[in-house]
A and B are shown apart, each in its own frame.
Chain A
Amino acid sequence: MEFFFEVLIAGLLSGVMYSLVALGFVLIFKASGVFNFAQGAMVLFAALTFVSIHEMGVNFWLALIITMGVMVLLAMCIEKVVLRRLVNQPPISLFMATIGLSFFLEGLAQGIWGSAVHGLDLGIPDEPFDVAGMFISQFDIFAALMAGTLVLVLAIFFNKTRVGRALRAVADDHQAALSVGIPLEKIWALVWAVAGGVALVAGLLWGARLGVQFALTLVALKALPVLIIGGFESITGAIIGGLIIGAGEKLAEVYIGPYVGGGIEGFFPYLLALLVLLVRPQGLFGEIHIERV
């Protein structure tokens, strides 16, 4: 029984980290209606940039600030070169553009910083806590706390501030937002910059856990089932979806995996998401869009 809880908690904690990545998606989707497939590449890019700068001898916090600056610049470039030109196109085109963007960023990141695996030390001790006979990783807790704080901050930002409202207006209808004077370009740059920041935090946390390497982009792919379960537009959904996926995949791997040869983690989240979709096509928290003719 204790083992079950251990696995469950580990899963939930890693789920929070999935939520973090999913959050980046939700932010951009809420604000610009674009499903940013490149979020994973952004996580990799941020992590690689940070780690490489840090390894060159730069102090941790300074490296962090520099990387954040790079991400902001990146956001502005993306807005200017890609998004602005695709304003009037159907969402599917924007989505495919972000697929192209993800490849571009991956190539760029590895081209500049190399494809070796980098270790990332965030200074958190490796020993697990012993809670009522169960071992819980300190790192997981730290990561969960960080992620949780960020999620809270962003939720408040979106729902309580004027800028947040403007973002939601933009997500709903670009043209309408433009016509009431919302500066579309600045908003998008802002959102992508924030998403870049989220990507950076996610990159650091996941990088510390897995090592900074190409596989980070696959983590982001894992965030997709999170989004499906949680709906693409809901921050709460991202959290709950992340928890469900994190716990689900760990439990499946441990309890079902041995019977079928292992490796279930790869596709189980997707099957779970598929099942949810069949029951509720808009995810657990998504908004239903009524089509009018």
Chain B
Amino acid sequence: MTAPDTPKLSLTQVLLCGAAIVTLSMGIRHGFGLWLQPITMDRGWSRETFAFAIAVQNLAWGAAGPIAGGLADRFGAFKVLIAGSVLYALGLVFMALATSGMAFTGSAGILLGLAQSGTTYAVVYGVIGRNVAPDKRSWAMGVAAAAGSFGQFLMVPVENWLIGSFGWQEALFIVGCLALAMVPLALGLKEPPHAHAPGAHQQTIGQALREAFAYPSFRWLTAGYFVCGFQVVFIGVHMPSYLKDQGLTPNVATTALALIGLFNVFGTYTAGTLGQRLPKRYILSTIYTLRSLAIVVFLNAPLTPTSVYVFSAVMGVLWLSTVPPTNAVVAQIFGVRYLSMLGGFVFFSHQIGSFLGVWLGGRLYDSTGSYDVVWWIAVALGVFAALANLPVKEAAIVRPTPVGASA
């Protein structure tokens, strides 16, 4: 049995600071698409230049996640959060100043990807895991995830207003200053040096990694999260053009985007709360099943603005609702000592799924002339993820008792 660490920070402090950080870090990045047109027009770049940088950003975020998580577990989350905030601000400033495609990819792609790996869920969840008692942990993760969802929802209109009022370059500088607000918030998540409860199993990072990857439940969770990334990003990126192909007006897509954002806040909070009462594997399995069902009904029902809005609301509820239960299960199985690093590995799988969702969506559309094949791949993957989560064992992993632990 894994002995939990003794909580050291107050619940209110962890939730307020953690939620505010995730609101900013998830929110700022969500509106990057708004800069596509002004930047490419002003710099004379192709859309591909901009899109490539954002693709690199997503991969860098995923690839750096385990490293940022490992550093947070080893040296303290607040140090990683501060470094991430400074990188975030620098990335935005360099993004504003970049005059070549390579410089833009280095700033908007690599720097901001690294910044996000240090300021988003995996790192903040490590602090929540270590400082919130297990009987409230899933709920607390739900609160933080809902804050991230709210940030995404909020920042699109805010950033649009900033660009319209101050110009695209100045707007990036202002958002860069906003990113620096995460520095004082990170100080609120400063934990005392690790003081493990008596009997807690001491592991090296390598041992923790070998243990996790040898454990089937971890592999199932990771596979399920891949599907989450694939479905969410495919729908988020390609649904508008699907609606356009079907003859619906642009306003329908905009309202659909707003509905996804609105219901996403409720979905993430509810999933975290339910995770406190129900087995998380069943919650995850249900989420993936409902996603597949929603897609099947959407594809087979007559396509009208109303059907799009209903689908968007349902998908919004299911959008990031996988985040709290997935991370809470990792904490439940392996304990909280290396939660950020292990969460980072699971999230890397999510980002590979995201990349494939965008890329395959475009690739198969070009080769077949429609999105039908990718929609059905998304359905099949949802069924796979629903089944993959069922055998997950949520009980704490059994480890050999450390010598002298019983003394």
- Do A and B make up one complex? no
Give residues in A with beta carbon < 8 Å to B.
Answer: none
